[in-house]
Structures are given as C-alpha cells and as structure tokens.
Amino acid sequence: MNARVQPARPAIGAVRRAFAPWNDPQAKPLIRFENVTKRFGPTVAVDDLSLDIFEREFFCLLGPSGCGKSTLMRLLAGFEQPTAGRVILGGADLAGVPPYRRPVNMMFQSYALFPHMSVAKNVAYGLKQESLPRGEIERRVQEMLQLVQLEALANRRPDQLSGGQRQRVALARSLAKQPKVLLLDEPLAALDKKLREETQFELMDIQQRLGTTFLVVTHDQEEAMTMADRIAVMDRGRLAQVATPGDLYEQPQTRFVAEFVGDINLLEGRVAGGEGGFWQITSPLAPAPLTVHDPDEALETGQAVAVAVRPEKMTISRDKPAAGGNAIEGEVWDIGYLGDWTVYRVKLGDGAILRVSRANASRFVEQPIDWEERVHLGFAPDAAIILTR
C-alpha cells in the first residue's frame, strides 16, 4: 500500500462525533435535493440547490430572513412543487406525491394547532387519518403526551395553554405518526430564552430516543450549533456551506459564513508569500505582515484575501506581545461587560474596529483595561484562517 503517512492533525472544534455518515461514500442519503430550483414569479427562493441528509441526522438550516429556508422545507413536505430539479426521499422521487401521502411531518412555526380540538384530539388527528383501531390510537396519544410531559393537560384546548405547552403539543402531534422525517420550522422562536435552551436539549433527547431524522429551520445560530449534527448555511437560495458546527465555526469558507456564524474580525489584505502552510499577509490595518497558518489554502502572491480571527482567539494587553505572534495597535473604543465575557471594541489607526473578548476567569482584575487606553492586540498564526471568497 502506498498510503501517505499524514501527520496527526488535532480535531477541529470541541466535539468529536462518532456519527458522521456524510463522510462515508457508501452511505445512502435519506433525503436528497437534486439541483432544486423554486421560483415565485420573479423571486428565486431556492436556486439550483443540491443537498443530502442522512437517516437519524439532526440537520439545521440556518440563514438570514428570506433566504429560502421555509421554502426548502415546504418543498419536502409537499406544499410547494419545485420549478426544476428533484426532491428524493428514501430513493423515491417525491414529484406528484401529495402532502398527505408523504412520510414526513411538519411542526409549523405558528404551531397550527386546531383550536376546536382538545390537546388529545390534536395529537390523535394524524393517527385517525390512518384509520387505526381506537385502542391503538389512544395508546399512541398517551405515549406521545407522556413524551412531552403533557398527560395532565390532555383535555385542555390550545387557547388554554401557555406558549411552551402549545409548542409541546405541536411536537407531539407531528411525532405521533412516527414520520421518517420531522420538519421543524423555527420551532422555538416563540419561547423565551430560558425555555428555549431547555427545549433545545429536550428536542435532542427526543431525537436520540426515537431515531427520527430532524430537519430544523432556525435563524438563531446558537440554537443551530447546540442541536445540530450538521448545519447548512443558506444565502439567497443557495447553500453557502454545509458542515458540522465545529467546522462551520472554525473553518468558515466564505466571508458570509464567517460573519453569519458567530462574531469575527476580518482583516482585508494581500498575500505577500508563504511556505509550509504559513502565509504572510500584508494588511493596511497591521504594521507588519501577518502570519497565518492555513495549510488547506493554495494562494498566489498578490491575491486579495481576508484574515479572519474570532474575538475570543485574540489577546489584548497594554504591553507589546512577545515577538513571533501577530500584533496590531489600537485604542479601546468600547467595553461591554457580559458577565462571563468582557468584549472590547478596539479602534485601529484608520478607524476600523476589531472585537476582542476575554473570559472573566477570575472575580478580581488588577488594573483593568479602561476606555481610550492604547492597547496591543495579538493572535497566534493558528488562531486565524484565510478567506478567499
């Protein structure tokens, strides 16, 4: 065998997943969007998009408002027909299959609970359509209500429930038919922050237990990072990047993704040279060329690029950092104390503002950095990546 010996590379991101069928060329996707385009008159909601989603995957669609997330989901549920391309589920083309025959259930953003039916009747609605025996329906409804901890409220009507309880009913109703795929369109948008976090973990737990494939739309990137096996970032009907949360955060491929997922500082510049994966980038923002370790890029001298550094991967100090790292000088413009973090906004010579965050690891700080102080920002070659697009 002539397999090249590769130096062991450390893992990207904080979590290593054993579940990664997308890396397995043998694996068959459960859902496949094949060059799907959807137009509404002049608007192109989904633009020649191809995407594979695997069984048991918890998949998040992330993107700004109007980028086509809901449309993609509705194409799968059958409420919209693609203008071009194919939507394939379990190997079968879904074209012409009406929504009520697709083994896919949806949890609507507005929950769409039937206001004239009790909680139990809402959950039973889908099962009744299958004309199951009555005892079986009752058993399954009980099971679902137990799953979302709503047994006590089975006879209430939706307008007698709190927002969080309604959301659980909607979840139970969409899970009752044991769909192959559960579509959730901004399922947690109506909940307050605390309840939302709790529910995120509950959703993950339920997904683990049932083994259902989840496709979740959200425009809350933290929510997507918490729950998803993989995230697709959408931009104007196209996929900007599909990756695990760790890859997405640590190795964004475009400026759009880098800026959409988390906070990032972009230093525009040009390639001055490089070898062995270490690149020299000259930037008008930095006095000396910046050194960035990004072995995956193949760059040409003179090429316009951006050096991207996350705020938490930068240091801030009064003293000039030791030689070897990258250093930029500036003036503290703004300080935000968030409790767990403190965020400094530092103004550079030409007016550009960089963000640096520091974990508040100790309760006491000696001589804290103050407004309008002159400071040095530093980052290691490994902390930054180079963006060409």
* Backbone CA torsion sign across 347, 349, 352, 354: negative
User: What part of residues 62-81 is at the interface with Mg ion (CB under 5 A)?
Assistant: 70
Work out the widest C-alpha separation in the chain, in whole angstroms.
76
In the bound complex, what is the minimum distance in angstroms from residue 78's beta carbon to another protein?
8
Instruction: Indicate the residue among 70 and 357 with the shorter CB distance to Mg ion.
Output: 70
Q: Report whether 272 contacts 346 (CB < 8 A).
A: no
Which SS3 state, helix, strand or coil, does residue 335 take? strand
Q: How far is the CB of 220 from Mg ion (least distance, A)?
A: 13
For residues 110 and 141, the answer to whether their CB atoms sit within 8 Å is no
Ramachandran quadrant class, 339 (left: phi over 0; alpha: psi -120 to 50; beta: rest): left
Nearest CB to ligand ATP, comparing residues 109 and 178: 109
- Is the four-CA dihedral 85, 90, 92, 94 of positive or negative sign? negative
Name the binder of 67 from Mg ion, another protein, ligand ATP, none, CB < 5-8 A by kind: ligand ATP
User: How far is residue 282's CA from residue 269's CA, in Å, rounded to a whole number?
Assistant: 5
- Binding to ligand ATP by CB under 6 A, coded x per residue (else -) over 7-46, reads ---------------------------------x--x-x-
**Which of Mg ion, ligand ATP, another protein, none binds 341 (CB below 5-8 Å, type-dependent)?**
none
Instruction: Please state the closest distance from residue 136 (CB atom) to another protein, in A.
Output: 15
- Where along the sequence are the contacts to another protein (CB under 8 A)? 77, 79, 98-101, 104-106, 108, 110, 112-116, 125-126, 129-130, 157, 160, 173-174, 177
| Closer of 108 and 278 to ligand ATP (Cβ) | 108
Phi, psi for 95 (deg, rounded to 5): -55, 130
Token pair listed for 238: 């196209």
Interface mask toward ligand ATP for 208-247; x: CB under 6 A: -----------x----------------------------
Size of the site for ligand ATP (CB under 6 A): 12
Give the nearest distance from C-beta 36 to Mg ion in angstroms.
17
Mask of contacts with ligand ATP, 64-83, x by CB under 6 A? -xxxxxxx------------
Sheet harboring 341-347: ordered strands across? 315-317, 374-379, 326-337, 341-347, 353-359
- Report residue 146: phi and psi, to 5°: -65, -45
242/215 Cα distance (integer angstroms): 13
- Residue closer to ligand ATP, measured from CB, 63 or 187: 63
Span near ligand ATP by CB under 6 A; candidates 22-30, 63-71, 150-158, 331-339: 63-71
Q: Which does 126 bind (CB under 5 to 8 A by kind): Mg ion, ligand ATP, another protein, none?
A: another protein
- Which of 109, 388 has the CB closer to another protein? 109
Which ranges in the chain belong to alpha helices (H)?
69-77, 119-129, 134-147, 163-175, 193-210, 221-227, 245-250, 255-260
Pair 88, 34: CB distance under 8 Å: yes
Q: Are 159 and 115 in contact (CB under 8 A)?
A: yes
Say which entry of another protein, Mg ion, ligand ATP, none residue 278 contacts (CB below 5 to 8 A, set by partner kind).
none
Binding site for ligand ATP (CB under 6 A): 40, 43, 45, 63, 65-71, 219
